[in-house]
Chains A and B, each alone.
Chain A
């Protein structure tokens, strides 16, 4: 197995693992070192990696992936309520249920491609959202959201005699447990929930790497570059796209399950189409079709969401307070609408700029810069060195179409 594992991939995998495991250390100076946010980094990273397997490889733009996240969340909460407070059955059940759900939706939606596929998935997601709100209230608890209760049966656990609602745990470790370590004057928070999500993230990243390098991944890429031609060569591409759809749905279900393991509350909001839009955004922002891009995008968006949305007007005023009064007021008035509660404006703007100027996302931007640097250094040396190491994480060879460009051809 390791024979087919390229050296660059191995380096990437090792670096990724180190980076993820050391996240509390790296994030603390950035003001993002608290457990809740780091858990989100890891979980939404998983979600985006899964989305990328569908969108990045096949080019099918699904606008309904939040439905799988929501289904995963609901089924995980039910397992936590009925079976055991241990997170393992909850996660397994959520992945299975969301996989089945994705099989059903994918089977129908994948009969069409291009914009029709996007709208079909969007319609299905909105339908699930509306159902969760109205008809399925006995299962989803409607607007209140589904949460753990003192009276939950939990047949595998001992009877809960305390007056507190149990919180999800793994082998006796509660998700909320955090060890705080002082280091260079910073509080490093090593959280159980984060490390469980992080280990799963690393595993899922490895899986997506294997999928990218497998013959299966090659066929998915062929679907993206020219599905008609692929069909003419005698391939029936639909089973492959359906498999990709189900895999990415299971990733989303896994992310949903992890979300409720960290905070056992599942609401229908999680299935709304803006939530589907968010994962599209993460993937595009980081770089669709690249390995590391989606995780990067998820991290950046969640970081901005948490950090930017907490900056209010007085903080902004503090930044410019050294300047003359009029200038301070002016700059505050200009900058503050884009921060705090208005951070969505900047998010939308950044997203538009990325789509307009950098359809391959940040990874493409990084590789462009690296190419530029390389060209500059080459012209300076005036010596020719034809073989240059591939930039880390950049997955597209130059002959392929730029990532993010999508084949809208009808089969």
Chain B
């Protein structure tokens, strides 16, 4: 029982990341009808927003100490970050909680990148075949990835979680299980909660606001909405920006779990495409459900028991693809795919 719970929890953080990225992909696909291969790059850029923001925060003033000496006899250098100098204790907490502050930093950046991408490039590809969309966004993904690589280097850059969220907690005790049965890192729990809030927010936004209603109407029948005198293109651009922000924030929050590197976007992208297809092209609920489902499946597949059961083969690396192949063959539209999406 506790082993099962532990695996479910282990799957949740990866599943949350898959769900968030897949949600962004589906938003873009559902509204604009564009297959965006550069979406993984947005996740990566989000993660590098954290790196940039931390670099900004750690600008330091260096003074020489009048009294103390360093071990080799020269006056001791005292490094004080400017933020701490200016804001005192508040600056210190700001550095500690830099991941959350990076979220605020990432939102405008991602919004801008998203809108520029849509207006500058994607807009011209609405009428082109899907293969062309795949190819041009694939090229864009290469460019973005290589630019990040040339600026930040090829090595992963570890990012700390806030001190309060480092370490693990005993989840099992909360639900009345024996102590130390289910130990789980706090930050992953935070990530899961964050993903829940964002996903809930997006669904609520689409469901209960006029803007969301128009967007949903546009997803269902773009032409009619246009004929009713609504400038649907503008709203779709906004949705592209929103999708970029969601994906970027997913990247920001993922940094304490996975040190940002330039190819993380590509790594996640392939999996998230599989997630979107399994969930059903154009279905938001499907994308989220499939994201969590595949994340949890992956963590179950890495259990030693499963490995023993399969005569020593570990299938955690391939389970997602295997499941995707099976689902696509049994239910060609994916778990919750609508009729008519990508079929005309």
**Interface of A toward B, CB cutoff 8 Å:** 59, 61, 108, 111-112, 114-116, 118-120, 122-124, 126-127, 130-131, 133-135, 273-274, 277, 280, 284, 337, 341-342, 344-345, 347-349, 351-352, 355-356, 359, 404-410
Contacts and interface: CB of A to CB of B under 8 A. Distances in A.
Contacts of B139: 348-349, 351-352, 355
B130 A356 contact: no
Interface in B271-285: 273-274, 277, 281
A43 B270 CA distance: 27
Contacts of B100: none
A64 to B, nearest CB: 10
Nearest to B135: A355
B274 A123 contact: yes
B342 A406 contact: no
B194 interface: no
Given A115-B281, A134-B314, A135-B314, A408 B342 contact: yes
B143 A409 contact: no
A223 to B, nearest CB: 14
B130 A405 contact: no
Interface in B115-157: 121, 124, 128-132, 134-136, 138-143, 145-147, 149-150
B250 interface: no
A64 B136 CA distance: 18
A274 B262 CA distance: 14
A112 B332 contact: yes
Contacts of A406: 129-132
B136 A348 contact: no
B342 A277 contact: no
A269 to B, nearest CB: 13
Given A108-B325, A356-B136, A410-B342, A342 B150 contact: yes
Contact of B136 (A119, A342, A355): A355
B313 interface: yes
Nearest to B332: A112
B142 A114 contact: no
A408 B131 contact: yes
Do most interface residues of chain B lie in helix, strand or loop, or is the interface mixed?
helix
Contacts of A352: 121, 136, 139-140, 143
A217 B342 CA distance: 26
Contacts of B329: 108, 111
Contacts of A134: 314, 317
Contacts of A273: 266, 270
A114 B342 contact: yes
A348 B325 contact: no
Contact of A119 (B145, B147, B266, B274): B274
A120 B325 contact: yes
A115 B150 contact: no
A147 B220 CA distance: 55
B216 to A, nearest CB: 22
A109 B95 CA distance: 50
Given A123-B325, A124-B325, A404 B132 contact: yes
A284 B132 CA distance: 10
Contacts of A409: 344
A384 to B, nearest CB: 35
B317 A133 contact: yes
B94 to A, nearest CB: 33
Given A130-B318, A408-B130, A115 B342 contact: yes
A123 B134 contact: no
B322 A127 contact: yes
Contacts of B124: 356
B146 A130 contact: no
Given A120-B328, A134-B314, A274-B266, A115 B35 contact: yes
A52 to B, nearest CB: 14
Given A352-B136, A406-B129, A135 B273 contact: no
A348 B328 contact: no
Contacts of B132: 355, 359, 404-406
Given A131-B317, A406-B129, A408-B342, 6 more contacts: A115-B35, A119-B324, A342-B149, A345-B142, A351-B142, A356-B121
Contacts of B322: 127
Contact of B134 (A61, A120, A126): A61
B315 interface: yes
A114 B130 contact: yes
B308 interface: no
28 contacts: A61-B131, A111-B329, A111-B332, A112-B328, A112-B332, A115-B130, A116-B332, A118-B131, A119-B273, A119-B274, A119-B277, A126-B270, A131-B317, A131-B318, A135-B315, A135-B317, A345-B150, A348-B142, A351-B139, A352-B121, A352-B139, A355-B135, A355-B139, A359-B128, A405-B128, A405-B131, A406-B130, A408-B131
A126 B342 contact: no
Nearest to B125: A356
Query: Which of B146, B277, B329 has the most C-beta atoms of chain A within 10 angstroms of its own C-beta?
Result: B146
B343 A410 contact: yes
Nearest to B277: A119
Contacts of B277: 116, 119
A17 to B, nearest CB: 31
